[in-house]
Amino acid sequence: MDRMLVVVFDSESKAYDGKSALQQLAKEGSIGLYAYAVISKNADGTSSVKQGDDAGPLGTLLGTSFGTLIGALAGPAGAAVGAAAGMSFGMGADMANIGVGADFLDDVSKALGSNKVAVVAEVEEEWTTPVDTRMEQIGGTVYRRSVADVQDKVDEENLNAMKADYAQFKAEHAQARADRQAKITEKMNQLDARIQAYLQKKQDRREVDKAKAQVKAGVKKVEADVASAKAS
């Protein structure tokens, strides 16, 4: 199951131990590890993203749900993460781009208080014990949420609402006096532009999802090849 993980620690050194533990679990075949970053919350409430050029295979994909989650947790600091990682944190993205509920983000934000440090990761895990056991040994508190397929549902609701508004404008336009028709036409044009932009956004996200799926398939193939080589 594809999940977002946030593991909160009391120190940066423990957080890096947690990231290393996730990488080790991936090497062992206990989980699939697709992207990761370390976020620290400073005493003054600001955030820092401790990230070099090693962000996992999905770290170089623009516009992923992982990148959006980092941006949501780290605030403006997320947008300034090293260009070497090639990450884009989609600061203006809506909640549907993250793929997890607002309650999860709220719980994590509360746990990631001043002087706390967290490892954020996108993983695939069949069961939770390997990660939970390893993180507990290091002193981390694990928050996880399945990456829900909420994007299409939210998109459909928003598009239906805009189309309903457009239909209402169109009906009013047919009955309006000439001096009102021009203003209603302007509103219809503005709304139609929003609808077209939304449809383009959906298409762009589909392309990102395709690229993301290809990366994950490649990771799984490498892991399978490594396991096969060890067995032989």
Quick one: average pLDDT of 183-201?
A: 90
Give 185's pLDDT tier (boundaries 50, 70, 90).
Answer: very high
Q: pLDDT by residue (tens digit) across 64-107?
A: 677 777 777 876 544 444 333 333 333 334 445 556 667 788 88
Amino acid at 161: A
pLDDT of 97: 55
Look at 100-104, 123-127, 197-201 and tell me which has the smallest mean pLDDT.
100-104
- Of 66, 84, 74, 11, give the one whose Cα is nearest residue 48: 74
Averaged pLDDT for residues 18-39:
90
Residues 6+ apart with CB under 8 A from 52: 82, 84, 85
The predicted pLDDT at position 54 comes to 60
How far is residue 47's CA from residue 81's CA, in Å, rounded to a whole number? 11
pLDDT of amino acid 153: 59
**pLDDT tens-digit readout, 146-157:** 875 545 555 677
pLDDT range class, residue 199, cuts 50, 70, 90:
confident
